């Protein structure tokens, strides 16, 4: 089935690390994505990982993939107030539908 | 700036009415996607067009329709509007028909009173 789940809310202190988690269900996924939505704006692609990878690092962002458990996480190091946004996990289905399925989004609040 | 343009940014209308939302994709992108974002339903995929042809269909109501024109811009038509149709409607574009890297517009906020 197609289902991507995320926790709804995360609050961290500025300078700490943030870890946003996501679970997905479809084994046909090949690419998994993290998008960021700032207030009043559209979604912006942050990073992605291919399903044969365990980890991908891009500056302050680290993506970890546990394919066995279908668990994806996004770690933001040294979280800043500008990181406050909604973060969406998405899986790209490589079955006949070729759809991008989004999770419900995790609202990250960074406290000064 | 993603390069995707959506108009109007805000729209207020009454139940039973019909509205048209417009989207211009990023230059060179052939695929256009429409998503609906509401508080209780999250981000729902509605429909995708690729180079003028319908490519994939999601949870789009029969009261809604879309098309992609030869110049690749797209319109989403919402008719017989209900209160529950109030949402943020996003258009996104990509170069290929099968892609996870989408470029999103800023959305059109529809309020149905």
Q: pLDDT, tens digit, for every residue of A7-19?
A: 889 999 999 999 9
- Write out residues 72-111 of B within 8 Å (CB-CB) of A: 90, 92, 97-107
| A60 Cβ neighbours under 8 A, 6+ residues apart | A76, A77, A78
| Nearest chain B alpha carbon to A47 | B101
- From chain A, pick out residues whose CB is under 8 angstroms from the CB of B33: 100
Q: Is A83 helix (H, G, I), strand (E, B) or coil?
A: helix
Q: Nearest Cα to B43, choosing from A30, A84, A100?
A: A100
The percent helix, strand, coil of chain B (3-state, each to 5) is 5, 55, 45
Query: What integer pLDDT is reported at residue B99 of this predicted model?
Result: 77
Q: What is the mean pLDDT of chain B?
A: 94
Query: What integer pLDDT is reported at residue A6 of this predicted model?
Result: 93
Q: What is the mean pLDDT of chain A?
A: 90
Q: pLDDT, tens digit, for every residue of B64-95?
A: 999 999 999 999 999 999 999 999 999 999 98
CA geometry: angle at B57 spanning B51 and B63, to 5°? 105
Cβ–Cβ below 8 Å for B4 and A44: no
Q: Nearest Cα to B9, choosing from B65, B86, B90, B77?
A: B90
Residue B75 · residue B20 · CB < 8 Å:
yes
């Amino acid at each position: 089935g197609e289902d991507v789940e995320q926790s709804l809310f995360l609050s961290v202190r500025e300078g700490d690390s943030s870890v946003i988690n996501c679970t997905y269900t479809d084994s046909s996924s090949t690419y998994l994505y993290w998008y960021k939505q700032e207030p009043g704006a559209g979604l912006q692609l942050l990073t992605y990982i291919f399903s044969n990878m365990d980890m991908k690092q891009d500056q302050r962002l680290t993506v970890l993939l546990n394919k066995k458990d279908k668990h994806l996480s996004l770690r933001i190091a040294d979280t800043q107030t500008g990181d406050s946004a909604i973060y969406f996990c998405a899986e790209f289905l490589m079955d006949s539908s070729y759809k991008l399925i989004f999770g419900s989004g995790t609202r990250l609040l960074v406290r000064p | 700036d993603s390069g995707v343009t959506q108009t109007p940014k805000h729209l207020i209308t009454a139940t039973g009415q019909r509205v048209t939302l417009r989207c211009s994709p990023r230059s060179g992108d052939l695929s256009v996607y429409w998503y609906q974002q509401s508080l209780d339903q999250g981000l729902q995929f509605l429909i995708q067009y690729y180079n003028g042809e319908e490519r994939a269909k999601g949870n789009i109501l029969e009261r809604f329709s879309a098309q992609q024109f030869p110049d690749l811009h797209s319109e989403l038509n919402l008719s017989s509007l209900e209160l529950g149709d109030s949402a943020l409607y996003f258009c996104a574009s990509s170069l290929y028909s099968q892609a996870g890297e989408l470029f999103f517009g800023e959305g059109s906020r529809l309020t149905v009173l």
